[in-house]
Copies of this chain bind each other. A is one copy, B any other.
């Protein structure tokens, strides 16, 4: 855990105290279910629920037993009447408790991440709708390609975020699986009925088959989803980092009063949030790899996954949570420079319109390949000399013979590139609760 990336309330869920609290919650659910099944007289569960979590005492006991669940059990039972202590944990195996308690945490953590990811999507949609008509240059390979709408660019990130919302929903189901089926999954000392009752009480789902533990493909799938989420945020961050490059200067991260970009260069305003998000995405990928290696455990389980998970589950959920929260702030605080976008669109003096020109020539009956070659020749010449492509086209005889001045004016009209975007924007209604978003003036 890195303090600066650990946000509440997720951070508290991963504390040692919270973990033991979840264990007790599961143990109590087992007792309560047994009461309901008539296996136990009423009242035990309530009394056990009143036991105190004494972290120091548990740690002290673990130094002898070298087994955390055994230490936990001893610390609880020493607080109980013998009659209540007898049924406590009886028939359960450590992993019944650990994995079920962990499912509770992962479920709640995923819900938090999911909620924030929905917020992130909404934030992007809002900004996108505001920039529906903001003309900017579309780039492929980092090279100017064709005019487009800045809002449309943003919408692409909204769509990806939405896909990650969908994937998180699936992942929420994955991590909500738990098990109370005993030492090797055969329900020797607990019944499927008890497991079912407990899961209902706890808001979890029983694994269709478990070994001593919940199979680890559930968790690997979850980590893959977090890595996808991270990758999506990395793509967004890479975009804003690019837009903030000095030569582009089309957008910039919010920069606080008193903030310093550099200890040595007072003029610097750096896209540090975007860079940070980029780095954190790498971590999620690394943790994903470790989580995938956890799948192929030996027989009814080996415990090699455990040390991995001590790091990866808290670190990955907290990092993912931090990322969506920060990404939303990045989007909400983004300073967009429409004028500069327009300037950059014009910077190549007409080169962005080569495709339209070529299509117009073909439409006018000029041969396809010859059209390509002619336009390419004019374009590369204009580029090499940093000349004015539009002027060159207007003065070109071959073209003049085929396209009228009006047709050429239309070729170079940027509005052409935004004319079909309503259909796309219609796929993203204004986020619930928003006033109808007005296009920015």
Q: Tell yes or no: A376 within 8 A of B by CB.
A: yes
Interface bin, chain A? 35 or more
Tell whether, in the assembled complex, residue A290 and residue B282 are in contact, meaning their CB atoms are under 8 Å apart.
yes
Q: Tell yes or no: A380 within 8 A of B by CB.
A: yes
Tell whether, in the assembled complex, residue B142 and residue A271 are in contact, meaning their CB atoms are under 8 Å apart.
yes
Tell whether, in the assembled complex, residue A86 and residue B362 are in contact, meaning their CB atoms are under 8 Å apart.
yes
Given contacts A271-B142, A307-B5, contact A368 B77 (CB under 8 A): yes
Residues from 176 to 193 in A contacting B, C-beta threshold 8 Å: 182-189, 191-192
A99-107, A255-263, A401-409 - interface stretch: A255-263
Q: Which residue of the partner chain B has the closest CB to A259?
A: B66
A310 CA / B303 CA spacing, docked (Å) = 28
1/0 per residue, CB under 8 A from B, across A284-319: the answer is 011111101111111111111111101110010000
Tell me how far the C-beta of A389 lies from the nearest C-beta in chain B, rounded to whole angstroms: 8
Please indicate which of the listed interface residues A69, A241, A264 has the most CB atoms of chain B within 10 Å of its own CB: A264
Known: A67-B262, A264-B355. 11 other contacts (CB 8 A): A70-B260, A89-B263, A138-B299, A140-B183, A141-B241, A144-B246, A152-B185, A220-B227, A246-B347, A276-B303, A282-B308
A303 CA / B1 CA spacing, docked (Å) = 20
Q: Which of B93, B228, B380, B416 contacts A188 (CB 8 A)?
A: B416
Q: Which of B170, B269, B348 contacts A383 (CB 8 A)?
A: B269
Q: Tell yes or no: A53 within 8 A of B by CB.
A: no
Tell whether, in the assembled complex, residue A359 and residue B286 are in contact, meaning their CB atoms are under 8 Å apart.
no
A424 CA / B416 CA spacing, docked (Å) = 53
Given contacts A228-B221, A246-B348, A267-B354, contact A139 B420 (CB under 8 A): no
Given contacts A231-B217, A246-B143, contact A307 B279 (CB under 8 A): yes
Tell whether, in the assembled complex, residue B256 and residue A278 are in contact, meaning their CB atoms are under 8 Å apart.
no
Determine the chain B residues whose CB is within 8 A of the CB of A421 once the complex forms. 186-187
Determine the chain B residues whose CB is within 8 A of the CB of A259 once the complex forms. 64-67
Secondary structure type dominating chain A contacts: helix
A112-120, A156-164, A433-441 - interface stretch: A156-164
Determine the chain B residues whose CB is within 8 A of the CB of A172 once the complex forms. none
Q: Tell yes or no: A418 within 8 A of B by CB.
A: yes
Q: Tell yes or no: A28 within 8 A of B by CB.
A: no
Tell whether, in the assembled complex, residue B298 and residue A292 are in contact, meaning their CB atoms are under 8 Å apart.
no
Q: Which of B89, B297, B383 contacts A235 (CB 8 A)?
A: B297
Tell whether, in the assembled complex, residue B143 and residue A270 are in contact, meaning their CB atoms are under 8 Å apart.
yes
20 A-B interface contacts by CB (under 8 A):
A5-B307, A92-B264, A139-B246, A140-B300, A140-B302, A142-B271, A145-B265, A155-B209, A158-B209, A159-B207, A160-B217, A192-B423, A215-B235, A228-B292, A246-B347, A266-B358, A266-B379, A269-B380, A269-B383, A283-B308
Determine the chain B residues whose CB is within 8 A of the CB of A160 once the complex forms. 215, 217
Q: Which of B156, B294, B355, B427 contacts A211 (CB 8 A)?
A: B156
Given contacts A224-B227, A228-B220, A287-B286, contact A278 B264 (CB under 8 A): no
Tell me how far the C-beta of A272 lies from the nearest C-beta in chain B, rounded to whole angstroms: 6
Determine the chain B residues whose CB is within 8 A of the CB of A431 once the complex forms. none
Tell me how far the C-beta of A413 lies from the nearest C-beta in chain B, rounded to whole angstroms: 11
Q: Which residue of the partner chain B has the closest CB to A372?
A: B266
Tell whether, in the assembled complex, residue A270 and residue B140 are in contact, meaning their CB atoms are under 8 Å apart.
yes
A148 CA / B181 CA spacing, docked (Å) = 12
Q: Which of B143, B158, B258, B344 contacts A64 (CB 8 A)?
A: B258
Tell whether, in the assembled complex, residue A142 and residue B241 are in contact, meaning their CB atoms are under 8 Å apart.
yes
Determine the chain B residues whose CB is within 8 A of the CB of A277 once the complex forms. 307
